């Protein structure tokens, strides 16, 4: 299996071949963070390189929001399948709706010398916020069903819990856990972040 860097290089060549400007697409998720040097295992994503693209610059049109591929029988689909034969697995997301709202990207240089845009850590977090908002609005009409099913599931799981743990009533265990989590107060997290910023090792932030 190709490394994710090699796959990104093949994807870049494919998009270059279609004259898609390099400023119109970027790599996201774990692969992007890996290319920026974060200690993320890229193998978990080797079958799935996520790329966000401004769909208006693609040589085909699609109404899809989560994934697009070239039309059946097109030269572009043949190009894509040839790229897959060489070992690259591309998930191309039509992302103009996110790009228009501003997503931080940085250039990442691959071992073969090619440079492509990847989402920065700040951009990655912003994408998470935008996607979460989108998901929430998508399920707005089903909110009650989601809450009901979640509540029922939790109740079923809770009913399987023992009434005590190591001789301690379960209600006391919950209080103990809550106390334990208090050490991760907002102030501690903020101080930790400050330290990371001073260390200068948050690439792309």
By CB under 8 A, name the binding residues for another protein.
Answer: 47-48, 62, 64-69, 71-72, 77, 80-81, 84-85, 89-91
Q: Which is nearer to another protein, 91 or 122 (CB)?
A: 91
CB of 35 to another protein, least distance (A): 19
Taking a C-beta distance cutoff of 8 angstroms, is the pair 28, 124 a contact? yes
DSSP string, 72-140: TT-HHHHHHHHHHHTT--EEEEE-HHHHTT---EEEEE-TTS-EEEEE-HHHHHHHHHHHHHHHHHHTG
Q: Which is nearer to another protein, 9 or 120 (CB)?
A: 9
CB of 64 to another protein, least distance (A): 5
Q: Which is nearer to another protein, 77 or 121 (CB)?
A: 77
CA distance 123 to 104: 4
CA distance 10 to 73: 21
Q: Which is nearer to another protein, 139 or 170 (CB)?
A: 139
Q: Which is nearer to another protein, 20 or 77 (CB)?
A: 77
Unique residue bearing structure tokens 């069903």: 145
CB of 3 to another protein, least distance (A): 16
CB of 9 to another protein, least distance (A): 17
Unique residue bearing structure tokens 């790009």: 99
CB of 200 to another protein, least distance (A): 36
């Amino acid at each position: 299996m190709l490394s994710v860097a090699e796959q990104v290089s093949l994807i870049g060549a494919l998009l270059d071949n279609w004259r898609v400007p390099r400023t119109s697409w970027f790599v996201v998720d774990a692969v992007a963070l890996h290319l920026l040097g974060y200690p993320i295992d890229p193998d978990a994503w080797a079958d799935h390189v996520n790329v966000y693209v401004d769909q208006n610059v693609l040589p085909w049109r699609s109404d899809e929001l989560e994934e697009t591929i070239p039309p059946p029988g097109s030269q572009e689909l043949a190009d894509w399948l040839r790229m897959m034969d060489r070992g690259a697995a591309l998930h191309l997301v039509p992302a103009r709706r996110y790009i228009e709202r501003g997503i931080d990207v940085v250039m990442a240089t691959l071992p073969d010398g090619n440079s492509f845009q990847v989402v920065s850590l700040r951009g990655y977090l912003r994408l998470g916020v935008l996607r979460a908002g989108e998901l929430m609005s998508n399920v707005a009409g089903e909110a009650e069903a989601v809450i009901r099913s979640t509540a029922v599931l939790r109740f079923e799981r809770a009913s399987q819990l023992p009434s005590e743990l190591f001789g301690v009533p379960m209600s006391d265990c919950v209080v103990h856990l809550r106390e334990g989590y208090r050490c991760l107060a907002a102030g501690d997290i903020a101080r930790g972040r400050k330290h990371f910023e001073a260390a200068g090792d948050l690439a792309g932030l």
